[in-house]
Structure 1
């Protein structure tokens, strides 16, 4: 079968899937307080449709799947979806399934997800201060998040990865404290630059804490040594104080890694995107429901890839934020 190669020579093996655009938090850098218009239920892919699309994509060359949202665990069939995908075989072996979550439902679901075949989990946590968490997420759920982290740890998701977004004047005094906490727990911390994907379209470059600033803050207390062999991974990894512990920085805006990108994205309503910042989408839901021809779906995947640009364009004049926010695209 024709490889999933774009016109810039990038081979695609990773599919990011948004299970839902709903979320049980309202993080200030992601959604307005009142939320955003939700995708109509009838437009969402059913479990059967989603697994059908993933199966076709795996046959076409996808080897890894990450489940995102919104908050993916708000979807009632999340465990069934994990089980269905983890049972699939790619050309490289069993499909690896991972998930990004806010952890609020992990106390109940961490063990079932592990048993269903979930390989890895990334948990979002922006602060260790309960009051600051409440202000940043507009929900008083800090204790629930920590309980979810504990549940994931106990279920054996190792190394457990924690994602943090720093906001200027809000939580940018916490990177050293957060890294100490992660090292003590045996977690792998990832700092992520705030990206222009918020529902309110209020992102400003001047307010963004850059990857360079993050590293400068961490180096006031830690020795960081770059880990070679990044490949297509979004995070640039550093050994902390000689290792083996590591910390990562995902500097999508100031240090883009588009040249090695191997990811495609599928929204909860069945739209395929070649890039997180793409302004166009390829409809897979319609053809899937009309005739369910796998060859047509494969052709559409290749058509989407053919339109993939060399980079996201954030740093170019005339850049426009995608119409959909991160919660609807899937991270």
Structure 2
């Protein structure tokens, strides 16, 4: 995969200026992957066996993550979302949250710390995470059926995920979001059940159109349940009213029977929202990505591990701006020339 270096031409904007791409999009969200490892083996994400994990020596250290985040915040990034793999597998996860939550932007406001997780370790670590500064949670759950969960994730951990969701609901962290990938003839008969489960936990259910991000490159468009199909199914149970003001959020939302509960749909394939995308991604091994589907990465490891690392902040800023300037207008999933990323979702970060 190409890994371009920063160029002098990318220095037109000064450090501290907003991260604006050539299409006028201002970037405010950085997804930080902490590991490519996971306690589940979801079929749409990674194979059950034979995974080639990132080398331990290539994984960003806590100090390196903080160095990148500090510069990103000075350039206008206001939200850090911690992802994986499964971020709770990182031994220093509480300290990661604590160090990042201590960062403020140019206006003096602290950054917002969010996390996407499978929830399995939440009952043990959530109080410490909240104390450290975690403010928002997304928890993945594709099915409420034990047999189906085992088939989808190749692990018998449904009770652990449900315990994690219960802990999150009791924690007071809001908004609490539950994510499910909608798959034809797999879990599309549970859409109503999942929304009812979410509302019972004061959470927003969000359905995700299945995307070509599996490590085995077996994605089949015909297996994907579209946004229109999801809404048609939910309309048999609730009246749906669009929520305006989506902004750069990946999910379009609808009120259920007038509210207060909502349901979201992330329709990256049939209703792309690339024109409002404000996100960048940092992989666990230090690669900057300007799109989930990008085939180009910007390697920060040589910058971070230069000896000596003089001018580190300036170099990180330059790489961030190179990454942003290279961002295309869209992901082109629906173009015949589309190429699926080499990395699977677990290695890219959600």
TM-score (norm 1): 0.98
Equivalent residue, structure 2, for 1:36? 51
Distance 1:311 1:297, change over 3 A: same
SS at match of 2:194: helix
Contact 2:169 2:201 in 1 (8 A): no
1:297 pairs with 2:320? no
Q: 1:268-287 to 2 correspondence within 5 Å?
A: 268-287=284-303
Alignment equivalent of 2:250, drawn from 209, 220, 234: 234
Equivalent residue, structure 2, for 1:6? 21
Give me the whole-angstrom Cα distance separating, in 2, the residues matched to 1:264 and 1:321. Answer: 18
Contact 1:63 1:91 in 2 (8 A): no
Equivalent residue, structure 2, for 1:308? 327
Contact 1:199 1:326 in 2 (8 A): yes
Equivalent residue, structure 1, for 2:173? 157
Equivalent residue, structure 1, for 2:12? none
Equivalent residue, structure 2, for 1:82? 97
Q: 1:39-58 to 2 correspondence within 5 Å?
A: 39-58=54-73
Give me the whole-angstrom Cα distance separating, in 2, the residues matched to 1:271 and 1:249. Answer: 28
1:64: how far off? 0.6
Unpaired runs of 5+ in structure 1? none
SS at match of 1:135: helix
1:73 pairs with 2:88? yes
Unpaired runs of 5+ in structure 2? 1-15
User: For this pair of structures, how many residues does the alignment match?
Assistant: 331
Contact 1:26 1:35 in 2 (8 A): no
Alignment equivalent of 1:320, drawn from 329, 339, 346: 339
1:18 pairs with 2:33? yes
Alignment equivalent of 1:246, drawn from 246, 257, 262: 262
1:35: how far off? 4.9
SS at match of 2:170: helix
Deviations 1:234-277 (A, max 9, x none): 00010000011111000011100000000000000010000000
Runs of 4+ in structure 1 off by over 3 angstroms are: none
SS at match of 2:248: coil
Q: 1:119-134 to 2 correspondence within 5 Å?
A: 119-134=135-150
